[in-house]
Amino acid sequence: MEREMRIRNYSERTIRSYICSVGQVSRYFNLPPGRISTEQFKAYLHHLITRENCSVSRINQNISAWKILQQDLLKRKWESIRIRRPRKEKKLPVVLSEIEARALIGSPRSYKHRLLLILAYATGMRRSELLHIRLKDIDRQRSVIKITGKGNKQRELPVPGRLFESLEKYYRRWRPAVYLFEGPVPGKAYSASSMQKIVKDCALKAGIKKNISPHVLRHSFATHMLERGVNLKRLQLLLGHNSLKTTAIYLHLADLDKAQLPDLTQAKPEDDGDERK
């Protein structure tokens, strides 16, 4: 199963998650995965929902892993054993106000921690993307950082000049070997749990009562960009979303009254010299 997913260029995180999912259902029935029936698998999903209160995303992850096992490894026709996915939860993500976001990113005493949060908020990167920025991904001349996102898809994110100056100051002080943010071991990326702890601690220090995680900075970036007048398609490209529908959820969060709306009764600057006959 691992080989099949590597051939299909799944990310390391997805490979680990799917293998873990199949291993858990195998241990639940004490049977090899290939001997577990569709009805048994459905019973396992029902157990996850009713007994373990698992989220919709966790259930979908299990179904996706099951599909790869059945269709690609066991060569069974998926149409005959198709399992319908649960309806998606329509929960709006937690978003900080701009005042709260500035309080959060300004609260760390450590320059490294502060820069980590600033970069997360200023670019809207996912946590895994941020922690796996390599030094060679940073293009100072073009003021962009190359990001490797979900499915190993790459995109470039523009970085404000002041932030690049901060990155240079950070590099001169910390001298990372491979990744921009590294832990105690040179050449090893900073851990996700460490960033989670930084965000939680800083939220407490800043007096923020909301349930905060690193992903909240990404949600806040997207919402505040819309409020500043960035169009939805541009935001989709910045966030690395495959579908514009995914990005559109932020329309429900943004206060679009804050956006600078053009006065269509006024001529555009390049039209000021035109004369009507």
The reported pLDDT for the residue numbered 277 is 45
**CATH code of the domain made up of 98-258:** 1.10.443.10
CB 115 within 8 A of CB 216: no
Q: Which pLDDT belongs to residue 217?
A: 96
Residue 263 φ/ψ region, left for φ over 0, alpha for ψ in the -120 to 50 degree band, beta for the rest: beta
What pLDDT, on a 0 to 100 scale, did the predictor assign at position 276?
Answer: 46
Residue corresponding to tokens 């804050």: 258
Check residue 93 and give its pLDDT.
87
Q: What is the pTM of this model?
A: 0.76
CATH 1.10.150.130 matches 2-81: yes
User: Which residues of the chain are modeled with pLDDT < 70?
Assistant: 89, 258-277
Active site residues per annotation: 126, 150, 215, 218, 241, 250
Q: Is 85 exposed, middle or buried (0-12, 13-18, 19+ CB in 10 A)?
A: exposed
The confidence score (pLDDT) of residue 151 equals 76
pLDDT of residue 271: 55
Question: Which tokens is 188 given?
Answer: 């090893």
Domain ranges (residues) in the chain: 2-81, 98-258
